[in-house]
Amino acid sequence: MSDQAPSEVTVTVNGTEIEAQPGEMLIAATDRAGIHIPRFCYHERMSSVGMCRMCLVDVDTGRGPMLQPSCMVPVADGMVVDTESDDTKRAQEGILEFLLVNHPLDCPVCDKGGECPLQDQTIAYGPGESRFVEEKRHFEKPIPISDLVHLDRERCILCDRCTRFADEIAGDPLIQFTERGNSTQVLTFPDEPFSSYFSGNTVQICPVGALTAAPYRFKARPWDLEETESTCTTCSMGCRISVQSSRNELVRYLGVDVESVNHGWLCDKGRFNFEAINSDERLTVPLVRDQENQRQLLGTDWGSALAAAAEAIGQAGPQGVGIIGGSRLTNEDAYAWSKMARSVIGTDNIDAQLDDGLPAELVLGLPPATIADACEADTVLIVGPDLKEELAILHLRLRGAATRGRTKVVQIGPTATGSESYAQHSIRCQAGEAAKTLTELLSSSDPLAQQLRDGSVVTILGRASMAESADPAISVAAVIRAELPHATFLSALRRGNVRGALDMGLAPGFLPGRVRIDNPSQALLQKWTDIPKEQGLGTTEMLQAAAAGKIETLVLLGADPLCDFPDRNLAAEAIQKVKTVVAIDNFVTSSVAQADIVLPATAYGEQNGTTTNIEGRVSRVIQKITPPGSTRDDWMIATELAWRLGGDLGLTSKDEIWREIEQVAPSHTGITLERVTSDETHEGILVQQSSIDLTLPIPQDTPIADGYGLRLISGRKLWDGATATAHSPSLQHLAEPPTLKVHPNDLQRLGIPSGSEVRVISTRATENLTAVADSNIQRGTAVLPFNQPGGGANRFIDATATINDIRIETL
Amino acid sequence: MKFFTDENLLLAEEIIGRYPKPRSAMIPLLHLAQEQEGWVTDEAMAEIAELVGTTSAEVLGTCSFYEMFKRHPVGKYVINICTTMSCALMGAGDLMKHAELRLGVKSGSTTADGMFTLEGAECQAACTEAPCLQVNYRHQYKVTANQFDALVEELGSSDHEVPEHGVLSQVRQHIPEDRFVGVVPPEDVTTAPVWLNDNGSDQ
Ligand code: SF4
Ligand code: SF4
Ligand code: FES
């Protein structure tokens, strides 16, 4: 090996010289040069395996032309390649004839027909006719290999894409090639389905119709589909997707490959929850509480519903109104509501987060990192939720960086997580005590401390458990700022466009553009009539004020505090106590069912606008279908209400709103409407400047648990009672019922057999649950998923406590 | 779920310890499972997956690739008659027909008493001795119909040396612990592997 590797090599392809990077495979170089070589098994995001031989081309490295698979041959300087030689053509014909020997050719009834690489390449490169007259091999078809994916082994061409994806990318090698020779087939282990959170990706990358997705089977033909590139807003990762519809109904999402975010992959939740948008249970008309039968909501017209809502807001006065939610909204809608609250109602009681994330000033004020920064850092420090459950594609990116790159993942937390399999270190700490553990680590002589001090560090910071307040996370931030000043941060936040909502000022004390309320820009003062002087209330404080009778009207902006706020009792008391609840939503959630006035909003895929992911990347969401019934965009609802309250937001379209955002939000200066509607939003436009200077408090010790209780830890699962999952027929049954996991010794101490029903007692509630022994759980703690159908952890949690303890008893 | 006997579990752990990565022990453990039960059960594969830290599907993928791992019960003695070219020319077809009549089962099946499984096999690399067969992978050369009958007789009695299907060897080898590779943390690996040295010599 020479010391000086050349930085580029030159390869001649079909008589033209192209530049290639040393070490890359020939097919990657020709792809970049726009020269197409047919292929089945090669995939640019996975390792090359040379399974299908479709990419054979004539390669001459000085010894005369030879057929070589271009996905397995690294480029070399002076290589001469012919992708159109007679030998290449004969090879292509031969390979296709072979592949079709066992292929059933059921194109007319195959979901892939019309967009099938096997069809397309057979037409482009095939021999036109087959010499095979014998019987083809037969398999039972199709067999479900999971709840979401069906496998037709007759159609499979054994390219190893699905199995490679499952092993290499997802880390769930639950599908495998079994048997060999003519009997080779993809299979799962008997009774162990392919229950990966990422299974839908295999359907997308299968080059034939062997893998089909249950929610899409026989729904449409590719040539009937219309598509548009958009962004997934199911979680705050912001994966790019292609939204596809047929006859004004969403039928499929596909991942779009963008370097900065999702590399083409999607999680199954984001991929399949389009079913909820098509649901018959969508809200389509405004509803008001029936005056005669208080238990009933009655349909009404927009005029009366808006008038009633405006009256309730007006009567309550600025201090008597609280607005909770906003992460479902696009940036433009969020801006309209931000302006409406401050400038028309005159209140700063507005919060997009349900006290389940980080304080806005941390999100906006900590030194920012991108997802790419994390994947290139020496160390990624995770102190927060289980990323596999809550930000699934971030988990996939980090897994890739850790298994194929040089990034070391270190996590500190109270429970086992999905990151453990690729983490260099998984350090268990007591719930709420990550800061203490980190301080101890950094003051020790552990080589890890050195690694963190010397190398680049990206911290993924979030609230590890819904049963703890934000204080433990704030303490972690304080320790890192003090001890590792070079570290940057990525906030692990919950729900869709939460980052965009915070950027637009849907947090008490903040205005659009990452500025504090006492520091408005001149441009903003010109557009907004008035700004409250005092910082308003956050979600917990609003609910407390409501429960104490100090808030009269509560506006739920796509929020469902009864399910999503950590403390169900407080939420229930607040909703009970206030005079009027105005809910703006897509579905009748538990909280919406308690509302007095319900305004139906348009949903994802039915509106245009922009969204912002956790790293601050702005990309576009695009309307694909017509909204149902008389639903309206959230910004329209804001302007209508403003007008009825005697104000004027001065906003008449989403484009116009973006123009105003660009003028008044200092962080967004220069991000013009032209830019956000251009191709630039394919990768998204990164917005990182912020004028928030942050003073972090001195870390506080977490209260010690008493000897009797178990410390409660509660995170979300990918499959849970989330509204969109619950309204997607293919997904709703994937959420498991809630079980309380406890260390076997703790159960034994109480004489409780694993799997039995126990009484769970907290300061908030006493209820029965099934307790299961799990030796992965630390002693003295109990793990209960936050929102499984059949009972959420929020019944037991006191949102005002730093940390929550429970006791369990035999029945 | 518990498949391996206590004794075999200890052995399994010893075998795993011989390799830098537990997964490398997968095939030896499949042999051990087949030795214990005569064939490889689903329970065995699931337990091996747990022992070597992978999924049952991966163990199935590996196991099913090899024909000599049986995933269905087989007889105490598996008789493979070679049906490839040299043996075919020297009368393997007739031998197979004879064997089927003698055992009363078709090729590919097991006698009702669970004693014999009869199979056709590809070349056994003994063409000079055609037609040949194997009993639990032990060769028999130039087999005639009479010899076949005698073989069946002998296997039915207690007077022979062919161990039951699945047994690899009658003497169990134990490798002393100081010869295990074990798990070497990457940072402790200071020299390149032998085969990467300039002249391939071990220095
Ligand atoms: S199922 Fe599809 S992706 Fe998987 S090996 Fe077969 S053809 Fe390839
Ligand atoms: S990770 Fe989040 S943004 Fe990406 S597909 Fe899943 S839900 Fe959508
Ligand atoms: S694409 Fe190269 S062998 Fe399949």
* Residue A203 in tokens: 């359907």
Give the pLDDT confidence score for residue A405 in this predicted structure.
86
Give the pLDDT confidence score for residue B8 in this predicted structure.
95
A677 and A718 together in one domain: no
B129 and B97 together in one domain: yes
A154 lines ligand 1 (CB under 6 A): no
* B127 occurs within a structural domain: yes
A664 and A629 together in one domain: yes
Helices (H), A43-106: 86-101
A479 and A505 together in one domain: no
Q: Residue B203 pLDDT more than 50?
A: no
Judged by CB atoms within 8 Å, which residues 140-199 of A form the interface with B?
167, 172-180, 187-190, 192
Give the pLDDT confidence score for residue A138 in this predicted structure.
94
Radius of gyration, alpha carbons of chain B: 21
A 10 A CB-CB count for A427 gives 17
CATH of the domain at B45: 1.10.10.1590
Average pLDDT, chain A: 95
| Sequential DSSP letters for A200-231 | HHHHHH-SSTTEEETTTTTT--GGG-EEEEEE
- Atom in ligand 1 nearest the alpha carbon of residue A157: 7
What amino acid is encoded at A647 in this protein? Answer: G
Residue A177 and residue B61: Cβ atoms within 8 Å?
yes
What amino acid is encoded at A270 in this protein? Answer: G
Q: Residue B142 pLDDT more than 50?
A: yes
* Residue A585 in tokens: 């939503």
ipTM score for this prediction: 0.90
Mean pLDDT of the region B172-177: 79
B81 and B151 together in one domain: yes
Give the pLDDT confidence score for residue B173 in this predicted structure.
80
Contact of A546 with A577, CB cutoff 8 Å = yes
CA separation for the pair A619, A681 (Å, rounded): 5
| Nearest to B155, CA basis, from B134, B170, B141, B172 | B134
Mean pLDDT of the region A42-59: 97
| Nearest to A551, CA basis, from A526, A524, A571, A529 | A571
Which among A175, A179, A180 has CB closest to B57?
Answer: A175
A292-319 residue pLDDT tens: 888 899 999 999 999 999 999 999 999 9
Among A84, A106, A128, give the residue marking a domain's end. Answer: A84
* A186 occurs within a structural domain: no
3-state secondary structure of B185: coil
CA separation for the pair A363, A350 (Å, rounded): 16
Which among B54, B56, B64 has CB closest to A192?
Answer: B56
Asked which of A436-445, A693-702, B65-74 is least confident by mean pLDDT, the reply is A693-702
A596 lines ligand 1 (CB under 6 A): no
- Atom in ligand 2 nearest the alpha carbon of residue A234: 7
A113-154 residue pLDDT tens: 999 999 999 999 999 899 999 999 999 999 999 999 999 999
Q: Strand ranges (DSSP E) for A437-516?
A: 457-462, 488-492, 510-511, 515-516
Contact of A654 with A635, CB cutoff 8 Å = yes
Mean pLDDT of the region A245-267: 97
Task: Give the model's confidence band at B197: pLDDT under 50 very low, under 70 low, under 90 confident, else very high.
Answer: low
Residues forming a β-bridge with A226: A245
Q: Establish whether the linkage from the previous residue to A142 is cis, with ω within 30° of 0.
A: yes
Contact of A492 with A393, CB cutoff 8 Å = no
Ligand having the closest approach to the CA of A121: 3
| Nearest to A26, CA basis, from A52, A2, A61, A51 | A61
B82 and B152 together in one domain: yes
Give the pLDDT confidence score for residue A412 in this predicted structure.
96
| Nearest to A626, CA basis, from A602, A599, A600, A653 | A602
The shortest C-alpha distance from B97 to chain A (Å) reads 26
Give the pLDDT confidence score for residue A373 in this predicted structure.
97
* B178 occurs within a structural domain: no
CA separation for the pair B15, A287 (Å, rounded): 69
| Nearest to B144, CA basis, from B87, B86, B75, B84 | B87
Directed axis angle between helix A434-442 and helix A471-483, to 10°? 20
Among A65, A84, A103, give the residue marking a domain's end. Answer: A84
B19 and B43 together in one domain: yes
CA separation for the pair B113, A539 (Å, rounded): 75
CA separation for the pair A387, A464 (Å, rounded): 10
* A49 occurs within a structural domain: yes
A23 and A49 together in one domain: yes
* B177 occurs within a structural domain: no
CA separation for the pair A759, A781 (Å, rounded): 16
Mean pLDDT of the region A641-652: 96
Ligand having the closest approach to the CA of A152: 1
A806 and A676 together in one domain: no
A311 and A331 together in one domain: yes
Region for A549 from its dihedrals, namely left if φ exceeds 0, alpha if ψ lies in -120 to 50, beta otherwise: left
A371 and A352 together in one domain: no
Contact of A269 with A392, CB cutoff 8 Å = yes
Task: List the domain range (segments joined by +) for residue A409.
Answer: 360-491
Residue B184 is given by DSSP the state P
B52 and B97 together in one domain: no
Give the pLDDT confidence score for residue A696 in this predicted structure.
86
A787 lines ligand 2 (CB under 6 A): no
B63 and B83 together in one domain: no
3-state secondary structure of A257: coil
Q: Which residues of A touch B57 (CB under 8 A)?
A: 173-176, 187-189, 192
Asked which of A10-24, B159-173, B176-190 is least confident by mean pLDDT, the reply is B176-190
Asked which of A292-296, A558-562, B85-89 is least confident by mean pLDDT, the reply is A292-296
CB pairs under 8 A between A and B: 38
Contact of B85 with B128, CB cutoff 8 Å = no
Contact of B36 with B30, CB cutoff 8 Å = no
Number of independent structural domains in chain B = 2
CA separation for the pair A445, A221 (Å, rounded): 62
Residue B45 and residue A178: Cβ atoms within 8 Å?
no
CA of A40 to the centre of ligand 3 (A): 6
Burial, B55: exposed, middle or buried (Cβ in 10 Å; 0-12, 13-18, 19+)? buried
The 10 Å CB-count burial string (b at 16+, else e) for B40-53 is: bbbebbbbbbebbe
Three-state SS for A693-745 is CCCCCCCCCCCCCCCCCEEEECCCCCCCCCHHHHCCCCCHHHCCCCCEEECHH
CATH of the domain at B91: 3.40.30.10
Residues forming a β-bridge with A60: A65, A80
Residues forming a β-bridge with B81: B120, B133
Radius of gyration, alpha carbons of chain A: 28
Burial, A431: exposed, middle or buried (Cβ in 10 Å; 0-12, 13-18, 19+)? buried
3-state secondary structure of A458: strand
Number of independent structural domains in chain A = 4
B60 and B103 together in one domain: no
Mean pLDDT of the region B108-131: 95
Residue B55 and residue A178: Cβ atoms within 8 Å?
no
* Residue A578 in tokens: 């206030």
CATH of the domain at A43: 3.10.20.740
The shortest C-alpha distance from B134 to chain A (Å) reads 22
Contact of B4 with B47, CB cutoff 8 Å = yes
* B149 occurs within a structural domain: yes
A447-474 residue pLDDT tens: 999 999 999 999 999 999 999 999 999 9
* A342 occurs within a structural domain: yes
If you search the block for the tokens 């299974």, which residue do you land on?
A199
* A551 occurs within a structural domain: yes
Contact of B96 with B84, CB cutoff 8 Å = no
* B38 occurs within a structural domain: yes
* A589 occurs within a structural domain: yes
Task: Give the model's confidence band at B198: pLDDT under 50 very low, under 70 low, under 90 confident, else very high.
Answer: low
A328 and A369 together in one domain: no
CA of A164 to the centre of ligand 1 (A): 10
CA separation for the pair A440, A522 (Å, rounded): 47
Contact of B45 with B63, CB cutoff 8 Å = yes
Give the pLDDT confidence score for residue A704 in this predicted structure.
73
H or E stretch covering A425: strand A425-428
B85 and B104 together in one domain: yes
What amino acid is encoded at A70 in this protein? Answer: S
The 10 Å CB-count burial string (b at 16+, else e) for B127-163 is: bebbbbbbbbeeebeebeeeebeebbeebeeeeeeee
Q: Which residues of A touch B56 (CB under 8 A)?
A: 189, 192
A389-423 residue pLDDT tens: 999 999 999 999 999 889 999 999 999 999 999 99
Give the pLDDT confidence score for residue A504 in this predicted structure.
97
The CA-to-CA distance between both ends of chain B, in Å, stands at 47
Alpha-carbon distance values, A119 to A106, A153, A379 (Å): 11, 17, 45
A580-585 and A553-557 beta bridge pairing: parallel
A366 and A424 together in one domain: yes
Share of chain A above pLDDT 70, in %: 99
* A450 occurs within a structural domain: yes
A 10 A CB-CB count for A465 gives 29
A508 and A464 together in one domain: no
Contact of A157 with A103, CB cutoff 8 Å = yes
3-state secondary structure of A475: helix
* A682 occurs within a structural domain: yes
Ligand having the closest approach to the CA of A496: 2
Contact of A452 with A381, CB cutoff 8 Å = yes
Give the pLDDT confidence score for residue B185 in this predicted structure.
67
Q: Residue A1 pLDDT more than 50?
A: no
A162 lines ligand 1 (CB under 6 A): yes
The residues of B whose Cβ lies within 8 A of any Cβ of A are 42, 45-46, 54-61, 64-65
The sheet with strand A16-20 has its strands ordered as A16-20, A9-13, A80-82, A56-60, A65-69
Among B54, B71, B88, give the residue marking a domain's end. Answer: B71
CA separation for the pair A562, A584 (Å, rounded): 15
Q: Residue B201 pLDDT more than 70?
A: no
Task: List the domain range (segments joined by +) for residue B46.
Answer: 6-71
Judged by CB atoms within 8 Å, which residues 188-207 of A form the interface with B?
188-190, 192
Q: Residue A762 pLDDT more than 50?
A: yes
The 10 Å CB-count burial string (b at 16+, else e) for A47-68 is: ebbbbbbbbbbbbbeeeebeeb
